[in-house]
Structure formats: C-alpha cells, structure tokens
Chains A and B, each alone.
Chain A
Amino acid sequence: MPPLTFTYQVPGDDFTRAGEASGQLKRTLKKIGFNADVIRRVSIAMYEAEINMVIHANGGEIEAQVSPEKIEIWFRDQGPGIPDISLAMKEGYSTAPDNVRSLGFGAGMGLPNIKKYSDTLEIDTELGVGTTLHVIINAE
C-alpha cells in the first residue's frame, strides 16, 4: 500500500496559527491508531519545525507521508538558510528575536528537540535560498 500523503501550508509570522498543522496530523495519527509514543514524537518534532518556519523563514510547506512502518516528513521553506548548522543544533543557542521570546519561544531547543525525538534528521540548507528538513520517525 502506498503511504498516505498530507500537505500543510505554514503561514509566516502568524503565531496564532502556529501548531495547527502539527495538531491536524496528530489527530490523523490518533485516528489511524498509532501508539501514543510515536504520536508524541511526531507532534514534538513537527511543532518545533513548524515554529521554526514561522519565526525564521516566513512560513513554508510541510509534506508528511504516513505508512505503517514510519512517518516521514519534509519541511520546506524559502527562508534565509542556516549559516552554521552545528551551532543551530546546540541546545540553548537561539537567534529568535526578542518579541518572539516574550511569547515563550527562543529556548534554543528547536532543532535539538527535533533530533532527539526523530530517528533520522537531515538538513539541507542554502543561504538566501532556503532550508529543507527531512525527518523520519519509525513506528515499529
């Protein structure tokens, strides 16, 4: 059976809608009947990536492919790119602006959380062109 594909548009700079895509996929995975741990890991990784797109990249597009064995997600944006990936992966390092921090973001845990809760994380980034995150979470 081919994987089920879901796509979501993430609006840029709209914090009131951030988390909607993650919430929708979470409900879908629940209906399909994935176990709670898998759903939690997908939710965390996806929310963090979604928030990153809103804060740093003026939004983007998410494509999720769901099969019984794994949930595979691509996060594509046309933002500024990540100048130093190893720095961005460091817990506590953040370039989020102050107005965003006052909302509770900017802990510098976004990419570290995505890595921690996924089985595979690939980052393809080019300065001035954009970033694609490819995340795989195994369901078995």
Chain B
Amino acid sequence: MTVNELCRRLDARLTAGANGADRSVKTGYICDLLSFVIGKAPEDCAWVTVIGNVNTIAVATLADVACVILAENIPLDQAARKRADENGVAVLQSEKSAYALAAEINAALGI
C-alpha cells in the first residue's frame, strides 16, 4: 500500500512532502522519543508521533521511514515543512489518537 492510499484509508491530510507519497508502507511504529525511533523504527513504516518539528523530519529521513503521521492534530512547524518537502518525506495529519491510528493502520495493511 502506498502512503497516498494509506492517507485516504485513514481519512488523514497529506500536509507536506507530497513528492514522497508514492512510497510503499509495510508496517507501523509509534514513539515520540527520537532516539528510540532512529534506533528501532523499521524501514518503510508509517511512524505515528506527536512531535512535529524539524528533528522529526531528520529522523524520518535517516531511519528511512515511509511517512510520518502526526496524531491528535499536532501541527508541523515551518522549518519541518520545508525540510519534508526538500527531502520528500510525506507527512500526514490526523485528529485521531496514536492508538486509533495504529488500529486503522493494522487493518489497512492487513497485518
């Protein structure tokens, strides 16, 4: 499933990094501590977090995740938006909780 398809399934908004939204999503991961994410997030995952700053995008790039999903309507700051567009990191936004998103990602990916 691509990031675009997952975005539609979750009823989320693609808010930055649209040029990365064709990527394939294989699994999900939830965490807000960046060192955990960079050390443990699987490649090609949809990473759900409530941290929406430029470091989120740096970690997403280095850990090679498929997309970032900001839960609870957390905003993406301006520097992060710019970096996401430059690096092709798709960022989705949703009003749902991380828990609800995880359940829906599971269902969508058939895990």
Choose among B39, B43, B79 the residue that contacts A116 (Cβ–Cβ < 8 A): B39
What 0/1 pattern do residues 43 to 74 of B give for CB contact below 8 A with A?
A: 10000010101111011011110000000000
Q: A107-B33, A109-B33 are in contact. Are A18 and B58 (CB under 8 A)?
A: yes
A22 interface hit (Cβ, 8 Å)? yes
A16 interface hit (Cβ, 8 Å)? yes
A47 interface hit (Cβ, 8 Å)? yes
- Interface SS majority for chain B: helix
What 0/1 pattern do residues 8 to 26 of A give for CB contact below 8 A with B?
A: 0000000110111011001
Q: A109-B36, A109-B39, A113-B38 are in contact. Are A104 and B58 (CB under 8 A)?
A: no
Interface residues of B in 2-59 (CB under 8 A from A): 32-36, 38-39, 43, 49, 51, 53-56, 58-59
Q: Is A26 in contact with B62, judged by CB distance below 8 angstroms?
A: yes
Q: Is B55 in contact with A44, judged by CB distance below 8 angstroms?
A: no
In the complex, A42→B36 CA distance in Å? 16
Q: Is B38 in contact with A44, judged by CB distance below 8 angstroms?
A: yes
- Chain B residue with the shortest CB-CB distance to A19: B58
Q: Is B62 in contact with A23, judged by CB distance below 8 angstroms?
A: yes
Interface residues of B in 70-95 (CB under 8 A from A): 79, 87
Q: Is A117 in contact with B39, judged by CB distance below 8 angstroms?
A: yes
In the complex, A108→B36 CA distance in Å? 9
Q: Is A105 in contact with B39, judged by CB distance below 8 angstroms?
A: no
Q: Is B34 in contact with A105, judged by CB distance below 8 angstroms?
A: yes
Nearest CB of chain B from residue A20's CB, rounded to whole Å: 8
Q: Is B55 in contact with A19, judged by CB distance below 8 angstroms?
A: yes
Q: Is B58 in contact with A103, judged by CB distance below 8 angstroms?
A: no
In the complex, A105→B35 CA distance in Å? 7
- A-to-B contact residues, CB < 8 Å: 15-16, 18-20, 22-23, 26, 36, 40, 43-44, 47-48, 51, 103-110, 113, 116-117
8 A–B contacts from the bound complex (CB under 8 Å): A16-B79, A36-B64, A43-B38, A43-B63, A103-B34, A105-B33, A107-B35, A113-B35
- B-to-A contact residues, CB < 8 Å: 32-36, 38-39, 43, 49, 51, 53-56, 58-59, 61-64, 79, 87
